[in-house]
Amino acid sequence: MEEHTNLDINEILQVRLDKLALLQENGKNPFIQTTYKIDYSIENIMEQHEQLLEQTISCAGRIIAKRIMGKASFVHIQDRSGKLQLYVRIDGIGEEKYACFKKYDIGDIIGVVGIPFVTQRGEKSLKLSDITLLCKSLQPLPEKWHGLKDIDLRYRQRYVDLIVNPEVKETFILRSKIITAIRGYMDTNGFLEVDTPVLNAHSTNSAARPFKTHHNTLNLDMFLRVETELALKRLIVGGLEKVYEIGRIFRNEGMDNKHNPEFTTIELYEAYTDYNGMMRRVEELFVYIADNVFGKRIFSYQGIEIDLSTPFKTMTMVEAVKEFTGIDFDSFECDDKKAREMAKEHHIKIESDSSWGGVLNEFFEEKVEEYLVQPTFIKDYPIEVSPLAKKIPGKPHMTERFEIFLTSRELGNAFTELNDPIDQRERFIQQAKLKHGDENYSIDEDFIHALEIGMPPTGGLGIGIDRLIMFFTDSDTIKDVLLFPTMKPIDK
């Protein structure tokens, strides 16, 4: 615990500044230190402790607890991999160093040399023969037993959150492992990882609202990307027949437990397959992560057991709406008036000119999504909400599109990609009419030109990595899986 518990924060800071000044006066400025030789991480020491007994080894970490007992003391340090107890004796490190050590504070970073041993209580420890102050902490960490509990402050000061809340660190270690596993699956299945521009001259060809900026040299308004789709499909045209990108996406829209203005996705495109092929990719990818990162396929999310065993349940959107509402949209297919009447009857908010497909989609979002807890594919979407997907043969009002749902959240979206440039232009124009109030909207003529060059039949898939990690780490809000979530500035 902090030694000066009766002092306020400014007094604690001054005490630590005074300690630093004294060190500097005595030629022991900790900030001059540039490197420190580390033999083992704390995790390695704990795992190999028996083999390392009687060997002199070095490690480093941040002091998180200390107990001074005259000529001998116990200290706990931690690094990324774990915690380790240190046994510090005056006759082990010398009188001068022990006197300096006693003035160290919680939060200081030290390098140590010592011999592994086991205490009488059976705790694996390190008996020190040397200690070096590598960085002086000037700000106190949150009090030991209470930690950093203020949720808003945890997100704003993630660096402190990671130090004092071990489970938070574990979440982000798992995030890294999951993304590594995603790359492992993609690479072993012949996909090429690529990078596409974050800044674009065109705003978007989707319904998402972009962030706008300005390029001074070109005197050009530009937009942060809301997807990587059009760039990746250009690469399919160019002959890179299996491509993917893991990258940041930016959308100037609302924020809640499932949405952050910037987030991470993977988009992948594969020539000569369709949305059925993409369904298999989703199943294989989810199982690959489960097997390779966690070694299991049964997970608990917010107290609910989730089974990732394949095949996942599959329903058309019409079938899903019928199952959960009893309304069969196929019985009045393409009857806009009847659809609007059904919406009014069931208190579904719609526009006065909403079409059959638009109403179907609203019914699904309001009446069905919350029940899709186990992994479920919902396929065959209305053309009104799928401007980049191929029409279903014989059903021109519906498209070959699916979304994957898990824990009542949409995690991914896939199409049999539209490769007809004439049809694509017409859909872009129609979408532009729907967005006529947004002066930022423009049609990407170069993408149309790419389709005119010729794109083979292609399946495309986008997955929200943050939401996927929310599931695998049992996190209730997207902010818990983003190291630095977007936060409203604190008023000064």
Fold matches, 9-146 and 164-312+374-481: no
d(Cα 474, Cα 280) in Å, to the nearest integer?
A: 24
**Which pLDDT does position 45 carry in this prediction?**
98
Q: How far is CA 298 from CA 57, 368, 390, in A?
A: 41, 24, 35
Q: Are strands 220-224 and 212-215 parallel, antiparallel or unpaired?
A: antiparallel
pTM over 0.75: yes
Which ranges of 347-474 does DSSP label H, i.e. alpha helix?
356-367, 421-434, 445-453, 465-472
**101 in Cβ contact with 93 (< 8 Å):** yes
Q: Which residue has the tokens 């402050």?
A: 153
Cis peptide before 485 (omega within 30 of 0): no
**Which pLDDT does position 148 carry in this prediction?**
63
**107 in Cβ contact with 70 (< 8 Å):** no
**161 in Cβ contact with 148 (< 8 Å):** yes
> pLDDT by residue for the chain (492 residues), tens digit each?
445 556 778 899 999 999 999 999 999 999 998 999 999 999 999 999 999 998 999 999 999 999 998 899 999 999 999 999 999 999 999 999 999 999 999 999 999 999 999 999 999 999 999 999 999 999 998 865 455 668 888 999 999 999 999 999 999 999 999 999 999 999 999 999 999 999 998 876 567 899 999 999 999 999 999 999 999 999 999 999 999 999 999 999 989 999 999 999 999 999 999 999 999 999 999 999 999 999 999 999 999 999 999 999 999 999 999 999 999 999 999 999 999 999 999 999 999 999 999 999 999 999 999 999 999 999 999 999 998 899 999 999 999 999 999 999 999 999 999 999 999 998 888 777 766 555 555 688 999 999 999 999 999 999 999 999 999 999 999 999 999 999 998 874
Fold of 9-146: OB fold (Dihydrolipoamide Acetyltransferase, E2P) (2.40.50)
d(Cα 443, Cα 288) in Å, to the nearest integer?
A: 38
Fold of 164-312+374-481: BirA Bifunctional Protein; domain 2 (3.30.930)
Residue 143: phi and psi, rounded to 5, are -55, 140
> How many Cβ atoms are within 10 Å of 26's Cβ, its own excluded?
9
Q: Which residue has the tokens 């986008």?
A: 462
Which ranges of 211-315 does DSSP label H, i.e. alpha helix?
229-237, 275-289
**Which pLDDT does position 490 carry in this prediction?**
80
d(Cα 237, Cα 456) in Å, to the nearest integer?
A: 7
**Which pLDDT does position 208 carry in this prediction?**
84
Which residue ranges make up each domain of the chain? 9-146, 164-312+374-481
**Which pLDDT does position 443 carry in this prediction?**
81
Return the structure tokens found at 89.
């004796």
User: What stretches of 136-258 adopt beta strand conformation (E)?
Assistant: 192-193, 199-200, 212-215, 220-224, 242-250
**Which pLDDT does position 70 carry in this prediction?**
87
- Four-residue CA torsion sign, 179, 183, 184, 186: positive
**Which pLDDT does position 202 carry in this prediction?**
80
> How many Cβ atoms are within 10 Å of 179's Cβ, its own excluded?
17
